[in-house]
């Protein structure tokens, strides 16, 4: 039999057309709808993943006609869509499925009108109550909207309705728990889709494929072979016009509690029993449960917070603000696989480059042969999983240079764009599609949110005495964050401090 060295295997996920549906977007005049949701829905339409019968209803406070709402959406989609060419004809067809409904979120009668409207829309018989309610509102309305949807009977016994919630899920463990209770009072947990848009990114999903569709890495993926793991989500922009929101949140709540924790969980989790949503989320939550609370006396050695120069002068930011725009954390996953392996995580705004990556640093070879001669000049093997931009995977190992006896570290590269072309769907396309077909694998479950808050609360509630370091815009953050690593002989492996080296 001929051995297959290269192959493709169709998992069959994501190619079918969704069932007929009506999606109601609450807070439809906000940025999210025009920048992310509508472009994603239009793309799904262009790719023929939406059925013939579907309706999208924008719900917000300002009075507007369907035509006005469609015109606004058209302008937005033209501006924010990833398509290079505008397809006027396709938009004209698509927008005939778009409607607008006016209402105040706390007004119960608005939901009754909405219900009537949904029943009157074309194709409502085929939709058969398959409603998706998307909460793109300010978080204080999440509970209110869910309560009124329930009150108006829009969640029926048939359980065909889904509630999609955007972050933030609370501002700490207590508020998150309260929110979960409010939402669960209206709809069962299995019909709740909490969006963490990082999970919709192709490369983040590829983490699972990389780890569990290959056999060569898994035996090495543990404390025996891995020295430490670095996870960086660096942004090159500041808070921009979002100062009002961000100043009440900070990097720990805005990025660490959700996106960073998810990346960590996917990197450290055990292989799930199957690919279904519950098995996968069970394994992720176990990772989070294995991270102990931070003790106050540990914070000075394990947590660094920083604020970029000039942050306090940003629009709608308190001039005395003590909100962090950068956070670096060293933590441990206390289980059999990872005991004593440090995980270093950092995220910040106005850093040198926009980059999100996971670097797995393997242990040094035994101190004989080359290691005995070269010492620290002999680079450790590293595996760099680049999530964005320049998505790819790079394995760095040592090789002999031709001629004289030198060792140089070299890269084995896989680049998404070179291998598969530059097509990369937006995270929201995947997430909306999955919600439409009822696949909750890429959405966070209540217990994940709870555990992530437990960890973050143990930092947040105790770090008032920790210094707030300032850092220059365009740097890699405060120097104190380097010391988190140097005290153990490690360093952040950013692009400049490349993983590559030459040893004599």
User: Which lies closer to ligand BG6 via its Cβ, residue 95 or residue 235?
Assistant: 235
User: Which lies closer to ligand BG6 via its Cβ, residue 167 or residue 384?
Assistant: 167
> In whole angstroms, how close is the CB of 387 to ligand BG6 at the nearest point?
9
Angle between the N-to-C axes of helices 38-46 and 427-437, in degrees from 0 to 180, rounded to the nearest 10: 70
Selection from 466, 492, 485, 461 nearest residue 253 by Cα: 461
For residues 247 and 244, what is the distance between their CA atoms, to the nearest angstrom? Answer: 6
> In whole angstroms, how close is the CB of 384 to ligand BG6 at the nearest point?
17
User: Which lies closer to ligand BG6 via its Cβ, residue 72 or residue 254?
Assistant: 254
Cis peptide before 376 (omega within 30 of 0): no
Out of 43, 130, 197, 259, the active site residue is: 259
* 148 in active site: no
User: Which lies closer to ligand BG6 via its Cβ, residue 95 or residue 254?
Assistant: 254
> In whole angstroms, how close is the CB of 254 to ligand BG6 at the nearest point?
5
Phi-psi domain of 35 (left: phi exceeds 0; alpha: psi -120 through 50; beta: other): alpha
In this chain, which residue has its C-beta nearest to ligand BG6?
Answer: 254
Dump strand ranges (E) for 172-302.
Answer: 192-195, 226-234
Dump strand ranges (E) for 61-144.
Answer: 98-102, 131-135
> In whole angstroms, how close is the CB of 267 to ligand BG6 at the nearest point?
17
> In whole angstroms, how close is the CB of 203 to ligand BG6 at the nearest point?
11
> In whole angstroms, how close is the CB of 33 to ligand BG6 at the nearest point?
16
Q: Which structure tokens are listed for 66?
A: 């369907």
CA dihedral 13, 437, 432, 278 (to 10 degrees): -80
> In whole angstroms, how close is the CB of 78 to ligand BG6 at the nearest point?
21
For residues 273 and 282, what is the distance between their CA atoms, to the nearest angstrom? Answer: 10
User: Which lies closer to ligand BG6 via its Cβ, residue 141 or residue 397?
Assistant: 141
For residues 20 and 346, what is the distance between their CA atoms, to the nearest angstrom? Answer: 42
What are the residues binding ligand BG6 (CB under 6 A)?
A: 235, 254
User: Which lies closer to ligand BG6 via its Cβ, residue 290 or residue 424?
Assistant: 424
Selection from 469, 488, 473, 497 nearest residue 303 by Cα: 469
Q: Is the distance from CB of 331 to CB of 303 less than 8 angstroms?
A: no
Cis peptide before 273 (omega within 30 of 0): no
User: Which lies closer to ligand BG6 via its Cβ, residue 254 or residue 357?
Assistant: 254
What HEC string does 144-193 produce?
A: HHHHHHHHCCCCCCCCCCEEEECCCCCCCHHHHHHHHHHHHHHCCHHHEE
For residues 136 and 285, what is the distance between their CA atoms, to the nearest angstrom? Answer: 26
> In whole angstroms, how close is the CB of 473 to ligand BG6 at the nearest point?
15
Selection from 196, 173, 333, 365 nearest residue 265 by Cα: 333
For residues 126 and 179, what is the distance between their CA atoms, to the nearest angstrom? Answer: 33
Residue 262 belongs to what H/E stretch?
Answer: helix 261-268
Q: Which structure tokens are listed for 257?
A: 């509690």
The three-point CA angle 37-38-43 to 5° equals 100
User: Which lies closer to ligand BG6 via its Cβ, residue 254 or residue 448?
Assistant: 254
Catalytic residues: 259
């Amino acid at each position: 039999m001929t051995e297959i060295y290269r192959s493709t295997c169709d998992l069959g996920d994501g190619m079918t057309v969704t069932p007929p549906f009506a999606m109601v977007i609450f807070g439809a005049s906000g940025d999210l709808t025009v920048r992310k949701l509508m472009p994603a829905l239009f793309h799904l339409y262009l790719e023929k993943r939406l059925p013939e019968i579907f309706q999208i209803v924008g719900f917000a406070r300002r009075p507007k006609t369907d035509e006005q709402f469609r015109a606004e959406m058209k302008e937005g989609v033209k501006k924010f869509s990833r398509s290079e060419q505008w397809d006027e004809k396709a938009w004209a067809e698509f927008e005939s499925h778009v409607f607008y409904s006016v209402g105040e979120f706390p007004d119960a009668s608005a939901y009754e009108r909405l219900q009537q409207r949904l029943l009157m829309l074309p194709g409502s018989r085929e939709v058969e109550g398959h409603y998706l309610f998307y909460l793109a509102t300010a978080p204080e309305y999440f509970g209110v909207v869910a309560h009124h949807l329930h009150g108006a009977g829009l969640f029926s016994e048939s359980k065909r309705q889904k509630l999609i919630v955007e972050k933030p899920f609370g501002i700490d463990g207590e508020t998150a728990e309260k929110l979960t209770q409010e939402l669960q009072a209206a709809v069962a947990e299995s019909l709740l889709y909490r969006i963490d848009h990082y999970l919709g990114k192709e490369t983040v999903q590829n983490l699972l494929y990389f780890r569990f569709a290959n056999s060569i890495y898994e035996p090495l993926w543990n404390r025996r072979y891995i020295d430490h793991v670095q996870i960086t989500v660096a942004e090159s922009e500041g808070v921009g016009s979002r100062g009002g929101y961000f100043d009440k949140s900070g990097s720990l709540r805005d990025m660490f509690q959700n996106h960073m924790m998810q990346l960590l969980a996917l990197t450290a989790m055990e292989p799930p029993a199957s690919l279904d949503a519950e098995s996968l989320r069970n394994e992720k939550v176990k990772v989070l449960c294995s991270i102990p609370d931070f003790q106050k006396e540990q914070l000075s050695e394990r947590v660094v917070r920083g604020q970029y120069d000039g942050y306090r002068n940003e629009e709608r930011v308190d001039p005395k603000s003590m909100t962090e725009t950068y956070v670096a954390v060293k933590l441990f996953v206390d289980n059999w696989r990872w005991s004593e392996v440090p995980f270093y995580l950092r995220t910040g705004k106005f850093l040198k480059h926009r980059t999100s990556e996971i670097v797995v640093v393997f242990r040094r070879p035994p101190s004989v042969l080359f290691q005995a001669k070269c010492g620290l000049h002999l680079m450790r093997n590293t595996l760099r999983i680049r999530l964005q931009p320049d998505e790819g995977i790079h394995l760095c190992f040592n090789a002999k240079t031709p001629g004289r006896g030198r060792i140089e570290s070299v890269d084995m590269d896989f680049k998404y764009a070179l291998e598969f072309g530059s097509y990369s769907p937006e995270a929201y396309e995947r997430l909306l599609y999955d919600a439409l077909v009822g696949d909750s694998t890429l959405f966070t479950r209540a217990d994940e949110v709870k555990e992530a808050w437990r960890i973050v609360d143990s930092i947040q509630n105790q770090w008032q005495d920790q210094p707030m370091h300032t850092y220059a815009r365009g740097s890699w953050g405060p120097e104190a964050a380097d010391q988190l690593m140097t005290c153990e002989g490690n360093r952040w492996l950013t692009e400049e401090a490349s993983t590559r080296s030459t040893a004599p």
